[in-house]
Amino acid sequence: MHADVVIPQVPVSPFTYRIPDKYLRWIEIGTRVVVPVKKRNFTGFVIDLNSQSSIRGLRDITSFKEPFPLIPASLINLIKWISEYYVCNLPECFQMALPARLLTLSEAMIQLEGSDDNAKGIRSSDLPNHFVSEIDIRGLKDAISEARIKLRYKRADWLGQETSRALRPFYRQPFHPNQSQLQAIREILADSEDNRVRNYLLYGITGSGKTLVYLEVMRAVIERGGSVLALVPEISLTPVMEKIFIDAFGERVLVLHSRLKESERFRRWEQARSGKCGIVLGPRSAVLVPMKNLGMIIVDEEQDGSYKQETHAPKYNARDVAIMRGQIESIPVILGSATPSIESYHNTRSGKYKLLTLPERPEGGQLPVVTVLDMRKERTVSSSLSATLVTHINDSLLSGKQTLLLLNRRGYARYVQCHDCGKMWRCPDCDINYTYHEKTEKLVCHYCGKTETPSEICPICQSPKISLFGVGTQRLEKTLNELFPDTTISRMDLDSTRASGELERIIDDVTAGKVDILVGTQMVGKGFDFPNIHLTGIIMIDLSLSFPDFRARENTFRLLTQAAGRAGRRSTAGEVIIQSFTPDEYSIYYAGNQDFEGFYEEEIGYRRKMFYPPFTKLVLFTISSMDQVKAARYSQILKNKLIALKDGYSGRLYRLLGPAPAPLYKLRKYYRYQLLLKLDSILKFNMALRKYYPSAPAGIIPRNIKLSIDVDPQDMM
């Protein structure tokens, strides 16, 4: 018998090995093994078993780590799919999927000695937790009875201690669903009882109670002995959802994310794998956690781009991986959103997903009244605030209500420029404007983090006339403090929430009514429920439309709708004021009218005309090098290779655009070029790629060139 083994630390694996007869009963798909590569041993994972192999000179598997599969076969199949679909190698996928300590050979070892293979001595503290529950302990009872292993306590009638922490009751909060919530719950549970596995899009307006629907269907799954995987788009949102889930389900909830210490992350991963929790909650990295009796997957805010891994391979989208996991394991997947992605909503039209709608807020909650201000005609009080918006802020404060202001630009000033010669201070590594931060009095590059102290005299013309232009959240906060000196103003952006616990503190202060005005970037629109916010002001929304991205309108509509949804989430209608220089642009128009259907019809027509998703699949190739000439030259070489690849592609659509300089042409000292490929099938493209270039993509790339392959890109920069 032979095994194909992926070795996460060896990029060119998998390799094939013989299974020694003495290990045949132990080794299955998913088993963690030790295998030789050249003169070293490595940890690997069995992904396939074969009775025969045509390869000569195969080496034996050295040993196995656990006498059971560490990863279920269904997850092995999912990882294979990720490798194929996202055009990356299997070792990269295993590195992404598993805790780091499972990928190496360094771990505690237990040695059993003695004439009858029983233990002379054993230190339980050395025994890995994940091995204790499933280790073969034949002879251990004899060792205890013969006093070769001594127990401090062998029997106890009662173990316990006094505690002030009460056990949480199961689902203690009362739930009174409205008609649309009840209908959604009934449809999901009815399909489940009839063993109909479906994907659902739960589309509900902001504040419509999607979370309550999640809780009710989760309760039903857990009562049947199943478990639930719930995904949120960002780590910052896990504390909010964690509190809701723990209030409902108590200690059954386990939170898993990449910011945990490695030892704690592994401990929780093992708890999930061994079935010691009923619910796993986490961001995109949790999508591959193994779970016992998984009965449902929930993807909250499914449209959020944070589900996409952008920085390194595999560049997967956790939402789409969740859909595929549901298909492989035959379990339902619920996608929830107040602003569904165009692709997901299109899937409801084509019958791939079942659409469930929540068109109203519970308990008589009203949608906010939205006003779009034409800034070409408005009188301004400052560079960013109209007189109309300032008046509404003052009225809100006088009535004892809170105000939220969204400006999707952090920092103090967007750029610094010499008034006389026009010099602009730019990051030398990224060739983009520095942003000035008043608190640190530094120029900061928001792409690479490089900082510089601003000079008082222009180095080109020696002029002292250096000015700050544009506005960020810091400058807006300062302006508001000048206009409303007796108010408490708080800021929520990446800079103000870097320190541990700061985001939670801001959320608690706003919820408790300690903040009068909250200023923030798009972070403030992501699922937070602030009950006393009456007015939402959205400033300089036109910046969102200026991005060179085919999703710019969709992102603008989403940002407006999500931010507007923070206003008036109880019985009284809130107010939303949108400041724009292009009020007739259809993303702003439909957001102002709170009309997703209207926006979808306009946007889907544009996508169809321009061959953009959901009508095509996109693959974005980004070539980068510290040598500008080499980057340009290799982009042409890659273009020729992709043109030649067309002959082996069996799909209908194969349209190549570029190469062209990337919108962010220089980033972290690297010059960047892009090619964009429009296809009708990623898997057919991958088949052609593997056939024409068996070692692709790594084998065709020179050492001084970096090549990024991004399937279904979210960031076109």
Binning pLDDT at 50, 70 and 90, where does residue 568 land? low
pLDDT tens-digit readout, 336-375: 999 999 999 999 999 999 999 998 877 666 778 899 999 9
Q: Say if residue 348 is in the same domain as residue 387.
A: no
State which of 607, 628, 653 marks the end of a domain: 607
Q: Is residue 173 situated within a structural domain? A: no
Q: Is residue 284 situated within a structural domain? A: yes
Print the domain residue range for 406: 367-414+470-607
The CA distance from 479 to 689, in Å, is 55
Q: Is residue 120 situated within a structural domain? A: no
Would residue 509 be called left, alpha or beta, if left means φ above 0 and alpha means ψ between -120 and 50 degrees?
alpha
Residue 338's alpha-carbon distances to 177, 201, 358, 485, in angstroms, are: 18, 10, 9, 36
Q: Is residue 639 situated within a structural domain? A: yes
pLDDT for 317 equals 97
pLDDT for 531 equals 79
Tokens of 197: 């596995």
Q: Say if residue 499 is in the same domain as residue 571.
A: yes
Any idea what the CATH number is for the domain that residue 24 is in? 3.40.1440.60
Lowest mean pLDDT among 406-410, 579-583, 668-672: 406-410
Tokens of 143: 């060792």
Q: Say if residue 387 is in the same domain as residue 353.
A: no
> What are the b/e assignments for 136-163, b being 16+ CB within 10 Å?
eeeebeebeeeeebeeeeeeeeeeeeee
Max Cα distance, the chain (Å): 94
Whether residue 168 is predicted with pLDDT greater than 60 in this model: the reply is no
Partners of 279 in the β-ladder = 228, 253
Q: To which residue do tokens 């979370």 refer?
A: 211
Calculate mean pLDDT across residues 323-328: 97
Q: Say if residue 636 is in the same domain as residue 531.
A: no
Residues listed for the chain: 717
Number of folded domains that form the chain: 4
Strands 227-231 and 294-300: parallel
Lowest mean pLDDT among 39-53, 118-132, 179-193, 207-221: 118-132
What are the residue ranges of helices labelled H in 422-539?
473-483, 502-511
The CA distance from 437 to 474, in Å, is 7
Q: Say if residue 569 is in the same domain as residue 549.
A: yes
Tokens of 192: 């489940």
Q: Say if residue 229 is in the same domain as residue 346.
A: yes
Contact 362, 470 (CB under 8 A): no
pLDDT tens-digit readout, 668-703: 899 999 999 999 999 899 888 877 766 555 446 788
Q: Say if residue 311 is in the same domain as residue 203.
A: yes
What are the residue ranges of helices labelled H in 362-501?
387-398, 473-483
pLDDT tens-digit readout, 418-442: 888 888 888 888 888 888 887 788 8
Q: Say if residue 494 is in the same domain as residue 554.
A: yes
The CA distance from 14 to 568, in Å, is 56
Q: Say if residue 379 is in the same domain as residue 301.
A: no
pLDDT for 421 equals 85
Would residue 76 be called left, alpha or beta, if left means φ above 0 and alpha means ψ between -120 and 50 degrees?
alpha
Q: Is residue 653 situated within a structural domain? A: yes
> What are the b/e assignments for 177-205, b being 16+ CB within 10 Å?
bbebbeebbeebeeebeeeeeebbbbbbb
Any idea what the CATH number is for the domain that residue 347 is in? 3.40.50.300
Q: Is residue 431 situated within a structural domain? A: no
Q: Is residue 460 situated within a structural domain? A: no
* Highest mean pLDDT of the ranges 112-126, 147-161, 223-237: 223-237
Q: Say if residue 351 is in the same domain as residue 500.
A: no
State which of 607, 635, 653 marks the end of a domain: 607
Calculate mean pLDDT across residues 69-77: 95
pLDDT for 569 equals 57
The CA distance from 390 to 407, in Å, is 15
Q: Say if residue 597 is in the same domain as residue 675.
A: no
pLDDT for 695 equals 57
**Rounded CA Rg of the chain:** 29
State which of 49, 72, 102 marks the end of a domain: 102
Partners of 406 in the β-ladder = 520, 538
Q: Say if residue 356 is in the same domain as residue 375.
A: no
Half-sphere exposure (CA, 13 Å, Cβ side) for 623? 28
SS (H, E, C) 627-696: CHHHHHHHHHHHHHHHHHHHHHCCCCCEEEEEEEEEEEEEECCEEEEEEEEEECCHHHHHHHHHHHCCCC
DSSP codes joined into one string, 87-142: T--HHHHHHHHS-GGGSSS-S------STTS--S---GGGS-HHHHTT---TTHHH
Binning pLDDT at 50, 70 and 90, where does residue 46 land? very high
The CA distance from 233 to 246, in Å, is 19
Backbone angles phi, psi at 708, to 5 degrees: -110, 130
pLDDT for 493 equals 85
Contact 533, 310 (CB under 8 A): no
DSSP codes joined into one string, 144-209: HHTTSS--S-S--S------SPPPPPTT-S-----HHHHHHHHHHHHHHHTT---EEEEEE-TTS-
Counting DSSP H helices and E strands in the chain, the numbers are: 19, 27
Q: Is residue 423 situated within a structural domain? A: no
% residues pLDDT > 90 (the chain) = 47
Strands 415-418 and 466-469: antiparallel
